[in-house]
Amino acid sequence: MPAFPPFPEAARQAVGDGVLRANLRHATHTIRDKRARAVAELADWDRLRAAGKAVKDHTLRHLDHYLVQLEEAVTAAGGTVHWAVDADEANRIVTALVLATGEREVVKVKSMATQEIGLNEALAAAGIAAYETDLAELIVQLGHDRPSHILVPAIHRNRAEIRDIFRTEMGRWGRPAPEGLGDDPRELAEAARLHLREKFLRAKVAVSGANFMVAETGTLVVFESEGNGRMCLTLPETLISVVGIEKVVPTFRDLEVFLQTLPRSSTAERMNPYTTLWTGTTEGDGPAAFHLVLLDNGRTDTLADATGRQALRCIRCSACLNVCPVYERAGGHAYGSVHPGPIGAILSPQLRGTASAIDASLPYASTLCGACYEVCPVAIDIPEVLVHLRERIAQGGPVTRNGVRVRIRPARGHTAERAAMRAARLLLDHPGALSTATRLLARARRLRPRRLPGPGRAWTDTRELPELPAESFRAWWTRERGTPR
């Protein structure tokens, strides 16, 4: 994992990039308005939201049970289940499975889990080429770029940029872009279609994730818009699915709720164009070999935390990104994680821990405005978890790491802040001292500087300070009404 700069630093660059801000603004505002309309069509949205939350909470509470049930069902249906405790183990398993087929290339269905573990890089190191087939992922891959959004990984790119990437890069990976490619969306999509078709027809191995796994039947489910996933899930001979353990739901019927909430929350559609379900293997139909790699990678540790575990309810719809005013300005890359935006700010520091500078900065990458909580289809109280994680960073506290309960110390760099908070509290807890302080402040009002030193500079660099009043409210009350009771 490369070292990413802390959020405020990375965000500063993004805020200064006018093209990026315009791209993000346009894309997020369009989708958020459409989502609001799609959600408003359903009279029982609140109940669907509560139902989704309940299904996920129940499953998470009995995760051990449902995972064992899932393993049995997948095995009975002709699949093979592998358990991966972390990214390295998952990558080793997938690499070995691909090498065993004798193949040196795989086609990929868009998947957050394989990004989380850095599978493409691990496969490349073993001499295996992994081709992304989702249009936006293809743009990211061809552009030697990182995804910046859960659903629309290339949201930070505009049409002209995409055309340039296709023109220069497609030829190096396979079928080149057509002569004289323009930036019309239909032309771009057609170029991608031709480029990808060659890969689908050639590939013997596919790697996917899944949106859901059904414990009772061993069925995996992918929701998608383009149909590229379905090609990968049906044409190759071997299918390897890498899925986070939190994606399981108990029964087939539970999908009913998410079939309604996921597409509306993510693409603002009533129904996504393609929903593909696969259960083990079937003679003469689809892949002859099916492997499911169940990925933990920090999930059981997250589950051990009573407040933080609600992040595991996430169905990766990306609605929270699209409404987040911080994401809109900072862009997805500033989060230094495959999970950007509000959900990334609470998920990454739990899955990866808070030791790095980027992970310690993520819970502060929010104003706690609550817009993310309001749209979340599984009612994750993101602001609550943000504050909870800030506590862990600022004052330390208990966490579970690799199954062991430990107490972590406050993150580095928070010592000065802790001292300031303590000093402020001591002052605030002594109203006598407080009123003396405000009196002194009022007397010094003519000395008010235009720029403050230290952390206050962050305010005065862009904003004026408030005018200081001649007397505090307390002083006014005492003058007018006598000593307060």
Partner 1 sequence: MRAALFVTCVNDALYPRTGVAVVRLLERLGVTVDFPAAQSCCGQPQYNTGHRYETEPLLRRTARAFAGHAHVVTPSGSCAAMLREHYPRIGRKAAEEGRGGELADLAAELAPRVYELTEFLVDVLGVTDVGAYFPHTVTYHPSCHGLRALGLGERPRRLLAAVRGLDLVELPGAEECCGFGGTFALKNPDVSAAMGTDKADRAAATGAEVLCGADNSCLAHLDGLLRRTGSPLRTLHLAEILAATEDEGPPR
Residues lying near ligand SF4 in the complex (CB under 6 A) are found at 265, 314-320, 343, 375-378, 380
Q: Which DSSP letter does residue 282 get? A: B
CA atoms 324, 325, 329, 334: torsion sign: negative
Total site size for partner 1, rule CB under 8 A? 66
- Nearest approach, Cβ of residue 253 and ligand SF4 (Å): 20
**Contact call for residue 373 and partner 1 (CB under 8 A):** yes
Residue 154 identity: A
CA atoms 163, 165, 167, 172: torsion sign: negative
Region class of 77: left (phi > 0), else alpha (psi between -120 and 50), else beta: alpha
Instruction: Report how far residue 261's alpha carbon sits from residue 271's, in angstroms, rounded to the nearest whole number.
Output: 9
Choose from ligand SF4, partner 1, none: what does 193 bind? Cβ within 5-8 Å by kind: none
Single residue of 50, 259, 304, 387 touching partner 1 by CB under 8 A:
387
Closest CB to ligand SF4 among 217 and 265?
265
Element (H, E) at 223: strand 219-224
Q: Residue 188: name the closest of 161, 228, 212, 225 by CA.
A: 161
Closest CB to ligand SF4 among 214 and 378?
378
Single residue of 230, 391, 400, 408 touching partner 1 by CB under 8 A:
391
Instruction: Report how far residue 132's alpha carbon sits from residue 137's, in angstroms, rounded to the nearest whole number.
Output: 6
DSSP-derived pairing of the beta strands 397-401 and 404-408: antiparallel
Which string of b and e fits 65-90 if b means at least 16 CB within 10 Å? ebbebbbebbeebebbbbebeebebb
Q: Calculate the CA 131 to chain-centre distance.
A: 22
Closest CB to partner 1 among 175 and 329?
329
Q: Calculate the CA 431 to chain-centre distance.
A: 44
- Nearest approach, Cβ of residue 376 and ligand SF4 (Å): 3
Closest CB to ligand SF4 among 79 and 342?
342
- Nearest approach, Cβ of residue 81 and ligand SF4 (Å): 26
Rg of the Cα atoms in the chain: 26
Burial of 153 (0-12, 13-18, 19+ CB in 10 A): buried
**Contact call for residue 464 and partner 1 (CB under 8 A):** yes
Single residue of 156, 157, 316, 392 touching partner 1 by CB under 8 A:
392
Segment interacting with partner 1, rule: CB under 8 A, options 75-83, 152-160, 283-291, 392-400: 392-400
3-class SS of residue 450: coil
Residue 196 identity: L
- Nearest approach, Cβ of residue 84 and ligand SF4 (Å): 22
Closest CB to ligand SF4 among 106 and 112?
112
Closest CB to ligand SF4 among 150 and 191?
150
**Contact call for residue 413 and partner 1 (CB under 8 A):** no
Choose from ligand SF4, partner 1, none: what does 387 bind? Cβ within 5-8 Å by kind: partner 1
Q: Residue 3: name the closest of 325, 352, 377 by CA.
A: 352
Binding marks (x or -) toward partner 1, 269..308, rule CB under 8 A?
----------------------------------------
Interhelix angle 431-443/415-428, nearest 10 degrees = 100
| Contact predicate 210/241, CB 8 Å | yes
Closest CB to partner 1 among 446 and 481?
481
Q: Which DSSP letter does residue 103 get? A: -
Segment interacting with partner 1, rule: CB under 8 A, options 91-99, 214-222, 225-233, 325-333: 325-333
List the interface residues with partner 1, window 328-367 (CB under 8 A).
Answer: 329-330, 363-367
- Nearest approach, Cβ of residue 427 and partner 1 (Å): 9
Instruction: Report how far residue 228's alpha carbon sits from residue 123's, in angstroms, rounded to the nearest whole number.
Output: 21
Segment interacting with partner 1, rule: CB under 8 A, options 54-62, 297-305, 313-321, 382-390: 382-390
Closest CB to partner 1 among 37 and 65?
37
**Contact call for residue 428 and partner 1 (CB under 8 A):** yes
- Nearest approach, Cβ of residue 303 and partner 1 (Å): 18
3-class SS of residue 130: strand
**Contact call for residue 124 and partner 1 (CB under 8 A):** no
Residue 43's contacts (CB-CB under 8 Å, 6 or more residues apart) are none
In this structure, the chain runs to a length of: 485
Give the residues lining the site for partner 1 (CB under 8 A). Answer: 7-8, 11-12, 15-16, 21, 325-326, 329-330, 363-371, 373-374, 384, 387, 389-395, 417-418, 421-422, 424-425, 428-429, 431, 434, 438, 441, 455-456, 458-459, 461-466, 468-469, 471-477, 481, 483-485
